[in-house]
């Protein structure tokens, strides 16, 4: 089994997440290493429902909110030059990145 670096990206802002995934893919393509992804993972939807009327009087009306958490996963062949460029990549605060090296 070949060694690879698994990169997990998580964000609530889908365009920023797609931009970071595209940048990582471009870096891997430029350096000529094998890359698989970005593969979309299921979107988590965090839902909150609250009653509009604070006292409980009146008609039964509710407010609904939801927060969507988008995720992408990339598998990159770990090359020194590639990993150095990925770690120097400008990543916004809203995008969380997790890097796991496998054997």
Task: List pLDDT tens digits, range 25-66.
Answer: 999 999 999 999 899 999 999 999 988 887 777 788 899 999
DSSP label of 100 = E
What is the b/e burial string over 36-73, where b = at least 16 CB atoms within 10 angstroms of the residue's CB?
ebbeeeeeeeeeeeeeeeeeeeeeeeeeeeeeeebbbb
pLDDT number for residue 47: 95
pTM over 0.75: yes
- Residue 2's pLDDT band, with cuts at 50, 70 and 90, is confident
**Helical segments of the chain, H only:** 14-31, 80-87
Give the range of the structural domain holding residue 49, as residue numbers without chain letter. Answer: 5-53+60-101
- pLDDT for the residue numbered 15: 95
Instruction: Provide the number of structural domains found in the chain.
Output: 1
């Amino acid at each position: 089994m070949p060694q690879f670096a698994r990169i997990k990206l998580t964000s609530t802002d889908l365009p920023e997440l797609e931009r970071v995934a595209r940048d990582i893919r471009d870096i891997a393509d430029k350096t000529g290493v094998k890359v698989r992804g970005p593969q979309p993972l299921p979107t988590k939807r965090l839902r909150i429902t609250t009653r509009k009327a604070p006292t409980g009087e009146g008609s039964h009306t509710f407010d609904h909110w939801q927060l969507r958490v988008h995720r992408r996963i990339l598998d990159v062949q770990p090359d020194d030059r590639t990993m150095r460029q990925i770690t120097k990549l400008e990543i916004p605060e809203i995008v969380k990145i997790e890097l796991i090296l496998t054997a």
